[in-house]
């Protein structure tokens, strides 16, 4: 039993490391090759945990091999458009200038129901409003509305606005995020000054947010 | 880029490790098989002391290798070989005629254990 426990801990560490090696991109929408790797990892990892007569190395070696191959392949795909196209395909247009490309839909095995469902997910209920629809390599459909149906933007109505960076958290639960403070260009001295003005120490702050201009909000700890 | 380099390094280290393990198992299997031959020869000479000594050495040799064996192969195979070698030891002590059969069994199991590591096309398929 202890072997199973230790193996599970080791595999957890190996898989976490492997997923970190694969990168954050993989945790979102998966490309076909990434999906294969993810499914295989979960299956391979289960074998040495379930059966203690199988050496754990038989689980670790294939997991690391798959992940390393995936990372190397994504590096090759980054350099070569041909390999990229071969491995993950390319986006396909299924509605062009308002016309549904039925042949393309059939080729991709997309039904009208798939299309209308994807439309509804993006709050589009009238197919005549769509100018372009593109099936991405992940299978997701993105839409471009006809000009008349596109939401107005600030520049359309000539409204002003700033492009200031949003505020960031610089103290959470009494702990300063020095990295954020540095990125905002505010410095430790500024923080000390503000906290003194507000009669509070770092440990007494539940949450503090600030932007580049030094505009800040402090929420003190209760009690 | 760092991830790609790390991946290549891991892949190379694992590949080298896997192929080295094949070599280690192979050379060890040869040693054990030679020891089994030694036990058989001692039995043919009807030398009880010599055959017991050779069988003991065989058992010790296998014990030393058990950790590596269970690292590269299913535990079941290692257990089978351990029990066959224990049988060889016990028959060798008594100069029992069953020793030949036990030696043949251990030999076949070790050869199979060794060959299972070799990445031939048929095994890969």
Q: What is the mean pLDDT of residues A181-199?
A: 89
**Which strands make up the sheet holding A99-100, listed edge to edge?**
A99-100, A92-96, A130-135, A141-145
Q: How confident is the model at residue A162, as a pLDDT?
A: 62
- A and B: number of Cβ contacts within 8 A: 45
- Residues in chain B, total: 125
CB contact (8 A) between residue A71 and residue B1: no
Q: Are A209 and A170 in contact (CB under 8 A)?
A: yes
Q: What is the DSSP track for A189-222?
A: HHHHHHHHHTT--GGGEEEEEE-TT--EEEEEPP
CA distance A163 to A161: 7
Q: Which residue of B has its CA nearest to A69?
A: B7
Provide the domain limits for residue A18.
Answer: 2-86
Residue A161 forms part of a structural domain: no
Given a cut of 90, is residue A50 above it in pLDDT?
no
High-pLDDT (> 90) share of chain B, %? 5
pLDDT band at A90 (very low <50, low <70, confident <90, very high): confident
Domain count across chain A: 3
Q: What value does the mean pLDDT of chain B take? A: 85
Yes or no, beta carbons of A53 and B18 under 8 Å apart: no
Task: Tell me what ipTM this predicted complex has.
Answer: 0.76
Give the CATH number, domain containing residue A140.
Answer: 3.30.240.20
Mutation target for B interface from A22, A26, A55: give the one with most B CBs within 10 A: A55
Same domain (yes/no): A66, A133: no
pLDDT of residue A81: 82
Is the Cβ–Cβ distance between A37 and A66 less than 8 Å? yes
Q: Identify the domain containing residue B73 by its residue range.
A: 2-124
Mean pLDDT confidence for A15-44: 75
Tell me if B75 and A53 make a contact (CB, 8 A cut-off).
Answer: yes
How far apart are alpha carbons B65 and B56 in whole angstroms?
14
Residue A181 banded pLDDT, cuts 50, 70, 90: confident
Q: Are residues A204 and A188 in the same domain?
A: yes
> Chain A partners of B75 at a C-beta cutoff of 8 Å?
52-55
Average pLDDT over residues A174-197: 88
User: Above 90 in pLDDT, residue A143?
Assistant: yes
Any B CB within 8 A of A37 CB: no
Q: How many CB atoms lie within 10 A of CB A118?
A: 19
pLDDT score of A28 more than 80: no
- Rounded-to-integer distance, Cα A54 and Cα B70, Å: 8
pTM above the 0.90 mark?
no
Average pLDDT, chain A: 85
Among residues A45, A62, A86, which one ends one of the domains?
A: A86
CATH number, residue B82: 1.20.120
pLDDT of residue B96 exceeding 90, the answer is: no
Rounded average pLDDT over B17-29: 88
Name, in order, each residue with C-beta under 8 angstroms of A65's C-beta and a sequence gap of 6 or more: B11, B14
What pLDDT does B125 receive?
A: 73
Indicate the SS3 state at residue A120.
Answer: helix
Residue A223 has pLDDT above 90, yes or no: no
pLDDT surpasses 60 at A26: no
Determine, yes or no, domain membership for A162.
Answer: no
């Amino acid at each position: 039993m202890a072997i199973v426990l230790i193996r599970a801990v080791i595999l957890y560490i190996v898989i976490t490391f492997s997923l970190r090696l694969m990168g954050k991109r993989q945790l979102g929408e998966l490309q076909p090759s990434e999906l294969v790797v993810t499914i295989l990892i979960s299956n391979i990892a289960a074998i040495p945990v379930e059966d203690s007569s199988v050496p754990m190395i038989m689980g670790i070696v294939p997991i690391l091999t798959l992940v390393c191959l995936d990372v190397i392949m994504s590096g090759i795909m980054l350099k070569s458009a041909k390999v990229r196209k071969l491995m993950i395909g390319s986006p396909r247009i299924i509605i062009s200038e308002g016309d549904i490309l039925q042949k393309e839909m059939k080729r991709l095995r997309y039904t009208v129901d798939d299309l209308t469902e994807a439309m509804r997910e993006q709050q589009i209920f009238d197919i005549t409003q769509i100018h372009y629809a593109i099936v991405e390599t992940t299978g997701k459909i993105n839409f471009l509305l006809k000009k008349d149906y596109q939401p107005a933007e600030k520049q359309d109505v000539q409204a002003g606005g700033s492009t200031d960076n949003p505020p960031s958290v610089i103290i959470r639960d009494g702990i300063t995020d020095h990295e954020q403070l540095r990125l905002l260009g505010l410095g430790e001295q500024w923080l000390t000054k503000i906290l003194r003005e507000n009669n509070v120490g770092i440990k007494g702050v539940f949450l503090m947010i600030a932007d580049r201009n030094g505009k800040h909000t402090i929420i003190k700890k209760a009690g | 880029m760092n991830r790609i380099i790390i991946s290549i390094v891991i892949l190379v280290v694992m590949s080298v490790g896997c192929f080295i393990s094949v070599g280690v198992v192979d050379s060890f299997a040869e040693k054990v098989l030679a020891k089994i031959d030694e036990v058989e020869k001692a039995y043919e000479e009807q030398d009880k002391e010599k055959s017991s000594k050779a069988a003991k050495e065989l058992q010790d040799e296998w014990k030393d290798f058990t950790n590596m064996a269970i690292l590269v192969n299913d535990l079941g195979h290692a257990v089978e070989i351990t029990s066959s070698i224990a049988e060889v030891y016990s028959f060798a002590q008594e100069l029992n005629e069953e020793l030949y059969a036990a030696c043949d069994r251990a030999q076949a199991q070790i050869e199979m254990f060794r060959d299972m590591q070799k990445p031939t096309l048929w095994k890969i398929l």
